[in-house]
Every structure is written in C-alpha cells, then in structure tokens.
Amino acid sequence: MILRLIAITGFLALVAVVSGCKCPSGGCVPRTPCVPCVLEPAEVDGQPPDLAALTCADCELIPLPAPKETYQLLSANTCQCSAATNAPVANMVELEHHWARVVIECDTNAVRENYCLDRDLMALHAVGIRNDSASAALKAFYQLAGLEAQEHFLQLATDETGRTLDRIDNLRERAITIPDGIDYGTVESRLHELKDQQLQLEFLRIQLNGQLQKLIGCPLDETIFYWPQVDWQVDLTPVDVEGALALGLATRGDLRGLELMICKIDKVTLPVARAVLAYADGTLGSVEPRDGLIHLARCFHCNKSELPIRCRQLAMLYSDTENLAIAEIKSAAYKIVLQQQRAANTQQTVEKLRGRVEELTKTRDVEDVAIFEISKARGDLYQVESKLIEQVVALEVAKVDLRKTQGTLALECGFDPKLCCEGCRARGRAGSLR
C-alpha cells in the first residue's frame, strides 16, 4: 500500500513538472496566452498613398440622421428636474434607504441607531447624485441650444462663401481680372472647411440629443430631436461671490453628512463612522476591534480608545471637505465673472462688425467698394456672431456649475431630504474636536 502511494505521488510530481505546474497544493494557476515578439525587418517606401485616387467618388453615402420639420420642445426646468428625478443610481439608493427603514423597525436599539444615521447619509447621497444628473442634463441642454443657433450662422457663412466662388468663376468666364487678395484656392478651402464643420455639428447634435434622452428618462431614438427653449438675453448682473459661498456651505450634501456624523458619533455608531471615513480613503476605518473572548480579555477598552481617534479623523475630514467646497464654489463664481466679460467683449465686436458691413454696403457705389470686400466682412460677422453664441452658452454652463457646486440643483426640484438625526450644531462640535 505504501509503495502504491509512493508511485502515485511520483507520477503526479512528474505530471506537474511536465505541465510546468509548481504549485505545492490547492491546484495550479493556468497559463495565460502569449505570442513571441518576432517581427521581420524590411525597407519601406515613405511616400503616402494617393488617397484621392483610392476613394470612391461615385459611392452613395448614408446621410446622418437630421431633424425633419418638427422638434420636441424642451425647457431648462423640465430638463433639470426630469434628470434629477429619473437618476437611476439615486433611485437605487432610495430603495436601499427604504430597506434600512424596514430593518430599523425590526431590530435592537443599537442597530436602530446605526441604521437611522446610515439612512440619513444615504438620503443625502441620493440628493447628491440627483444634483450631478441635473447638472449633466442642463449642460447638454445649453450646448444643444448653442449648436442649433451656431448652425444658422454656419449656414449663412457657407452660403456667402459659395457665392464668392460663383463670382470668381463668373469673372474667369468673362476674362475679367480677379481683384488682388482674392485667391480661388483659399476660398474653396474655406468652403470645404465650413461644410466639414456642418457635418461635425450634425454628429454632435445626435450625441447631445442622445445624452438628453438618457438623462431625462426618455426612450433612445436618433430620429427624435429636441429644441431647447432658451432666453438668449445675456445676463451681466454682478456675481455676489460671498453670498454664493454662504449658500453653498449651507446646502452642500457632503458637508451636511459630515456634520451629521460628527453630531451622532458615539460607541454605538462607530461602524457608520468607519464607513464614512473609508469613503474618503480606503485605508481609513479599516482597523477595528475583532470579536472574540480572547481579544475582549486583552483589550477591554478598545472601543473607548477608538472613539476620540474617529472624532479627530472626522473633524480633519470635515475641515478638508469644507476647504475644498470653498475653493470649488469661489472658482465657479469667478468663472461666471470671466464668461460675462468674454461675452461682453464679443458682443462689442459683433456691433462693430455690423456697423462695418452697413457702412460698406451704403458706400459701395460711391466709393467703388468691391463686392468681395463686403462678402469678406459678412463672413467675419457671421463667424463672430457664432462666437458670441458660444460665449453665452459658456456663461450659462458656468451658472450651472455654480449651482452644482452649491448643491442646489436637486433642491430646486424639491429633493430636500428630511433627516431624522439632523439638529445639533455640528460645526461648533467639529471645531472643538480639532
């Protein structure tokens, strides 16, 4: 019998060596696929291929989906609140929040205290997710509005450039000298560039409409297009930076959650405190007393010793989060100031170019102004008007960013959680724990 065991053991060892398996026990790790890096050297011709000759000129290309005769109207408020309401992850957190309430009603006082606190923190987290979803939807909303407005000026510029090419062709046919500074190749290249921009805008329109459909909870359909209802009046009202900061510090969910945790931390709620700290960094809250009689005998006061450490960590986390919130809110507020100035400067440029076009048009016959000069001035005007749309959109997006950093987008849609544990003055306590 012993000889048979020795023989079997030797056979298994031989199989292991043959297969490359050197695991002492518990099974072998399978080999991963690999190929040798063996490449052949060769001399290559550095000349690029003639892509124009290789491209099929007569091929029938599929057009991108484009709006037909009707759009679906979409307001900023509907966009914001639909996205906040239909945020999938936030709704999943709400179900977890409900389950915590069920557990609270069926367990001990110690468990109840932990789950009450945990439930409030989940409610704040869900509002934060809704706030982010509303922000993403509003940004896509204003970007789509800007795209539709810019497309109009892009089409005007394309038409004007096409007319310039036609005028050059007409002069050539009549053997008339083309004015200095007018180059057919340059104008034609400009026309191709404008048409390429139109194609990119068409693709971006599809993307933004798809994003909005996903965020506001509508079925995905590339044949349905939204028309954002936007008030294009440029708001240059001075920003109250300190007022925006005060509002943000009072409404941000992350600060409210930490205040709540600092208020309610005690020996019973230490597990929740560990989880909150772990959310900031995976190593925080990872050290905790282990269950068992031997450990209890050796470290009877572990929980008592852990509490001041967790309080100190929470206070440090609160201070760091508050400083980050201050930086984010002030940065967003000053971004609005920046965009207001950029929009105002571009608006002045538009007015100057409009005056230039009107002046050239009025004095064309008197001063013998060439139509090419007027056409170029119109093209410059369309380009700057498109730039003004871009600056106004950037201003609206900056306002959305401020409301996002303040945590007010979801609150504006009625998602203001009623917390059962909130009430004590956490800021004062946070300062005393530092």
CATH number of the CATH domain containing 369: 1.20.1600.10
119-145 pLDDT, tens digit each: 889 999 999 999 999 999 999 999 999
Q: Which of 110-114, 185-189, 337-341, 417-421 has the lowest mean pLDDT?
A: 110-114
Does the pLDDT at position 312 exceed 60?
yes
Instruction: Judge whether 8 lies within some domain.
Output: no
Instruction: Judge whether 252 lies within some domain.
Output: yes
Percent of the chain, pLDDT > 90? Answer: 51
Percent of the chain, pLDDT > 70? Answer: 83
Label residues 77-95 b or e (16+ Cβ within 10 Å = b): eebbbbbbbbbeebeebbe
Does the pLDDT at position 307 exceed 60?
yes
Structure tokens at 71: 């759009």
> Across the chain, what does the average pLDDT equal?
85
Residue type, 86: N
Q: Which residues pair with 75 in a beta bridge?
A: 229
Q: Evaluate the CA torsion angle 288, 291, 293, 296 in order and state its sign.
A: positive
Residue 136 vs residues 47, 130, 409: alpha-carbon distances, Å:
46, 10, 11
Residue type, 24: P
Q: What is the pLDDT of residue 298?
A: 58
Q: What is the pLDDT of residue 313?
A: 92
Instruction: Judge whether 47 lies within some domain.
Output: no
Does the pLDDT at position 417 exceed 90?
no
How many domains are contained in the chain? 1
Q: What is the pLDDT of residue 282?
A: 84
Average pLDDT over residues 305-330: 94
Instruction: Judge whether 407 lies within some domain.
Output: yes
Segment (H or E) for 74: strand 72-75
Instruction: Judge whether 25 lies within some domain.
Output: no
Q: Higher model confidence: residue 430 or residue 274? A: 274
56-86 pLDDT, tens digit each: 777 788 888 888 878 999 999 999 999 999 9
Q: What is the pLDDT of residue 287?
A: 79
Q: What is the pLDDT of residue 279?
A: 86
Q: What is the pLDDT of residue 303?
A: 63
Instruction: Judge whether 260 lies within some domain.
Output: yes
Label residues 239-271 b or e (16+ Cβ within 10 Å = b): bebeebbebbbebbbbbbbbbbbbbbbeebbbe
Average pLDDT over residues 309-325: 95
- Strands, E assignment, 114-217: none
Q: How would you write 400-433 as a 3-class SS string?
A: HHHHHHHCCCCHHHCCCCCCCCCCCCHHHHHHHH
Residue numbers of the domain that contains 315: 69-270+282-433
Instruction: Judge whether 14 lies within some domain.
Output: no
Q: What is the pLDDT of residue 102?
A: 66
Q: What is the pTM of this model?
A: 0.83
Enumerate residues 6+ apart whose C-beta is below 8 A from 292.
none
Q: What is the pLDDT of residue 3?
A: 44
Nearest of 350, 434, 425 to residue 392 by alpha carbon: 350
Instruction: Judge whether 371 lies within some domain.
Output: yes
210-266 pLDDT, tens digit each: 999 999 999 999 999 999 999 999 989 999 999 999 999 999 999 999 999 999 888
Q: Which of 184-198, 302-316, 327-341 has the lowest mean pLDDT?
A: 302-316
- Strands, E assignment, 150-263: 226-229
Nearest of 389, 416, 360 to residue 153 by alpha carbon: 389
Nearest of 364, 371, 361, 367 to residue 170 by alpha carbon: 371
The secondary structure of residue 24, as a DSSP letter, is S
